[in-house]
């Protein structure tokens, strides 16, 4: 699996919050929040969080 910068960030997967924003050290932070729509790092972070959160409470009602 290829490791990306977004996946090297610290996450708290149990509650779905980032420990540190990937935007803090970004070179385009001066344009924040206008840069959010085209940010690939945020896209990867959101995908990683949504993938992990979907299985946290995965249980059967039976």
Note the pLDDT tens digit of each residue in 6-48: 455 555 555 556 777 888 888 998 998 899 999 998 888 888 7
pTM greater than 0.75: no
Q: Please report whether residue 37 resides in a domain.
A: yes
Query: Could you identify the residue written with the tokens 């090297």?
Result: 8
Q: Please report whether residue 31 resides in a domain.
A: yes
What lies within 8 Å, CB to CB, of 30 at 6+ separation is: none
Q: Rounded distance, CA 23 to CA 29, Å?
A: 6
- State the pLDDT at residue 19: 75
Q: Please report whether residue 1 resides in a domain.
A: no
Q: Please report whether residue 58 resides in a domain.
A: no
Q: Please report whether residue 41 resides in a domain.
A: yes
More confident residue, 18 or 53: 18
Q: Which domain does 49 fall in, by range? A: 6-53
Q: Please report whether residue 15 resides in a domain.
A: yes
Q: How many domains does the chain have?
A: 1
Plot region of 40 (φ>0 → left; ψ -120 to 50 → alpha; else → beta): alpha
What lies within 8 Å, CB to CB, of 40 at 6+ separation is: 6
- State the pLDDT at residue 35: 92
Q: Please report whether residue 59 resides in a domain.
A: no
């Amino acid at each position: 699996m290829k490791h990306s910068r977004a996946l090297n960030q610290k996450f708290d997967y149990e509650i779905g919050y980032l420990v540190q924003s990937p935007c803090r050290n970004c070179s385009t932070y001066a344009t924040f929040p206008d840069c959010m729509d085209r940010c690939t790092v945020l896209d990867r972070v959101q995908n990683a969080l949504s993938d992990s959160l979907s299985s946290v409470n995965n249980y059967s009602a039976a």
